[in-house]
Structure 1
Amino acid sequence: MSSPPVPYFSQWESPELVTAIVTGAMSAADDPRWAESGADSAREYEFWSWRVCGMACLRMLLAQRGQEVPPSVELAKECERFGGYVRHEHGVRGLIYAPFLSWVADRFGLDGDVRVDLGVPELRDLVAQGHPVVASVHQAIREPKSVSPGQGGHLVLVTAVTETGLVINNPSGLSSYSQEGAQVDDEDFARFYALRGMVFGANTA
């Protein structure tokens, strides 16, 4: 039994504009599809769009299961009400795994566990067994052959394994080559990976 395909969602409503947004060539507020996020304004969309990698991963999991997929900012604001995000004077703290997992279990019936010290070999085994893993990596993984500035701070959905690496759906992947089904060698993934994440129940069809 194999897992159903995993649809892709970017943390920006226009995936083809991600390169321009993350390089600063355009503002996220100028995304012509911003209203599809559920935000009340383009500025609210801009604020959340940089912070909703976890909501994009959640949307992918929901879509894979054939469930309704709410808009990203709508999800983020609901998640905030349940403690998954915490506002502070400089922005937002989160995604905070424990309250997030409690919320998605109650709201969507998704069962997940927080994992720390989750090495790449064990992560590979879990994914090969059909468990989607939301992994904490540095956002620079969108260029996996680049020098890693650190580990963690960004979430990607690990969907499959290859002989030498992992297949990820990256919510902030660059247009055309590092978004959906991006293949990253194990050794490259390890340079960006913070050895923590959330493991969800296997979904087979």
Structure 2
Amino acid sequence: MRKQKRVVVDAGVTQRVPYFSQWETPEMTLAVVAEGAQTALLRDPLWASSGARNVEEYAHWAANLCGMACLKMVLAARTGKTVPIMDLAMGCRDYGGYVEEPDGKIKGLIYAPFVPFVRDRFDLNARVVTGISVADIADILTQSEFFIASVHHSIRWPETEPPAKGGHLVLVTAVSGNRIRFHNPSGHIAETRENAEMPLQTFERFFAGRGIAIDR
């Protein structure tokens, strides 16, 4: 398990939230951006830790596993155990949370099937939240332990203007005043991966107004 950080949520609950990337080697993000996951991740020396049957399967799935990385972090925080990311993905697929299309493309994470998957497999009480603003996340965290937020993947470069909102998932762990803190499964450097922080108004530019709350 990677080094854990202490995070204090507004509701007053102290948590330890481990960080995990959606690739087994977190430092490979820039290679993935430049070459695509299915090419770059064939060189990931730690691919076997994913639980994939081979490196090709790992590289094929990894770009879609930001949601499973968030779940992996939640489970590690709750139980102290690390579940291989492909084990999570295949379980979620069985519930319809991922769909493999005839052309090989993977559709997902699909939110609605994720809820019964984590309830049945891990006894987590999750709920889909839509139509909210970034200011509403603080209220969500008063009753939920985590919020998996839909943002644009370019949030790793907060100074940029995203071309769209959503399409990538990050694990929000705290809102304090006007700042939000989160783990980004595809951050490109340490500061944008683990306990990344930014003003709420910056996060708003990337945030699609939806996500998954995981209650206490």
Structure 2 residue matching 1:141: 3-state secondary structure: helix
Letter of the 2:199 partner, please give it.
Answer: D
Q: Does the 8 Å contact 2:144/2:214 carry over to 1?
A: no
Structure 1 92/141 Cα, relative in aligned 2: closer, same or farther at 3 Å?
A: same
Distance 2:172 2:210 in 1: 12
Who is 1:108 aligned against?
122
1:59 equivalent to 2:72? Answer yes
**Larger RCO (alpha carbons 8 Å, 6+ apart):** 1
Does structure 1 conserve the Cα–Cα contact (< 8 Å) formed by 2:144 and 2:213?
Answer: no
Shift, 1:129, TM fit: 5.1
Q: When the two structures are superposed, what TM-score results if normalisation uses the length of structure 1? A: 0.93
Q: Cα RMSD over matched residues?
A: 1.6
What are the equivalent positions in structure 2 for 1:119-130 lying under 5 Å apart? 119-128=133-142
The answer to whether the 8 Å contact 2:137/2:175 transfers is no
Identify the residue that residue 91 of structure 2 maps to in structure 1: 78
Question: What is the rounded CA distance, in whole Å, between the counterparts of 2:22 and 2:131 in structure 1?
Answer: 27
Alignment correspondent of 1:24:
35
**Alpha-carbon distance in structure 1 between the residues aligned to 2:83 and 2:143:** 28
Do the aligned residues in 2 keep the contact of 1:2 with 1:130 (CA within 8 Å)?
no
Aligned match for 1:34, one of 42, 47, 52? 47
> Per the alignment, in what secondary structure is the counterpart of residue 180 of structure 2?
strand
Shift of 1:180: 0.5
Unmatched runs of 5 consecutive residues or more in structure 1: none
One-letter amino acid of the counterpart of residue 186, structure 1: L
Aligned to 2:170: 156
Instruction: Provide the identity percentage.
Output: 43
Matches of 2:13 and 2:86, distance apart in 1: 31
Q: Do structure 1's residue 145 and structure 2's residue 159 form an aligned pair?
A: yes
Per the alignment, residue 175 of structure 1 pairs with 189
Unmatched tracts of structure 2, length 5 or more: 1-11
How many pairs are equivalent?
Answer: 202
The amino acid of 1:38's aligned partner reads G
1:91 aligned onto 2:93 = no
Runs of 4+ in 1 over 4 A off after TM superposition: none
